[in-house]
Amino acid sequence: MSNIKTAFENGKAFIAFITCGDPDLDTTEKIIETMAENGVDMIELGIPFSDPTAEGPVIQAANLRGLAQGVTTDKVFDMIRRVRKRVSIPMVFMTYANVVFSYGTERFIRTAAEVGMSGLILPDVPYEEKAEFADVCKKYGLDLISLIAPTSDERIGMIASSAEGFVYCVSSLGVTGTRSEITSDIDSMIASVRENTDIPVAIGFGISNPEQAAQMAAKADGIIIGSAIVKLIEKYGKDCVPYVKKFVKEISAAL
């Protein structure tokens, strides 16, 4: 078990996603520090993948910008080693199965634990395929985060009862990206999760402003914001840090 639960100890958790190396790894380091100092409780770090099939256009483009910068898994680990000396909140990786598998699943997870990561989110690894990653995660004390979707229905019990760290509740059909409205029946999804586990539940996909954040946080233990932050990074590039700071402060204040 990891220290992920600490992110949920002071009221609703604010989980922020960014892609490593977008616009470059030095800026990523600064964003991580700024977010940790301004109300973010946990950071999800994307390791860029050439073909991120679960992402909408905003995060797809961030992945490609990262790769164009020459970001590699090893460089991401090095960056985390540096930033870990100054940042203590839990951090988890969000990447695709092939990034982990091609590095060597055990070598990847062992190194992630060594540099101080707490968990791993693999959007293309559903319950049925998780054993080959979950067993290794367990060995090194990382949590493999389980996702549930609006289509999960009767699968929720099975997924939630073996979930670790927190349950990532996908708010909407489709890929990542901001949405003007979230229409899924989140209340019943979360009720099903709670019947099967005591670990925290966070809602992600589509949340982009303080109002939505507050509305979703009322339903769960935390919220996840990705595309809205990545959009700021895309717009301001290396000068994005103060804009990200302002944004996360607003979200944090709304929770």
Q: Is the dihedral of CA 231, 248, 183, 10 positive or negative?
A: positive
Residue 108: phi, psi to the nearest 5? -65, -50
Stretch that binds other proteins, among 19-27, 85-93, 97-105, 231-239 (CB under 8 A): 97-105
Structure tokens, 220:
């769960």
In the block, tokens 């901001």 appear at: 178
Q: Answer yes or no whether residue 50 interacts with other proteins by CB under 8 A.
A: yes
C-beta of 89 vs 175, nearer to other proteins: 175
The answer to whether 28 and 97 are in contact (CB under 8 A) is no
Q: Answer yes or no whether residue 103 interacts with other proteins by CB under 8 A.
A: yes
Distances (CA, A) of 183 to 66, 169, 207, 216: 32, 14, 12, 11
Q: Pick the binder of other proteins from 40, 87, 144, 149 (CB under 8 A).
A: 149
**Minimal distance in Å, beta carbon 78 to other proteins?**
14
Q: Answer yes or no whether residue 127 interacts with other proteins by CB under 8 A.
A: yes
Q: Pick the binder of other proteins from 21, 23, 119, 123 (CB under 8 A).
A: 123
Q: Answer yes or no whether residue 155 interacts with other proteins by CB under 8 A.
A: yes
Q: Answer yes or no whether residue 68 interacts with other proteins by CB under 8 A.
A: no
Question: CB neighbours of 71 closer than 8 A, spacing ≥ 6?
Answer: 20, 21, 25, 47, 48
- Quick one: how far is CA 57 from the chain centroid? 17
Dump strand ranges (E) for 122-197: 143-144, 146-148, 167-170
C-beta of 71 vs 113, nearer to other proteins: 71
Stretch that binds other proteins, among 45-53, 196-204, 219-227, 237-245 (CB under 8 A): 45-53
Structure tokens, 167:
């349950």
Query: How many residues bind to other proteins according to rule CB under 8 A?
Result: 42
Separation CA 243–CA 138 (nearest Å): 37
Q: Answer yes or no whether residue 196 interacts with other proteins by CB under 8 A.
A: no
Q: Answer yes or no whether residue 243 interacts with other proteins by CB under 8 A.
A: no
**Minimal distance in Å, beta carbon 17 to other proteins?**
16
Chain positions contacting other proteins, by CB under 8 A: 49-51, 53-54, 56-57, 60, 64, 67, 72-74, 96-103, 123-129, 131, 147-153, 155, 159, 170, 173-175
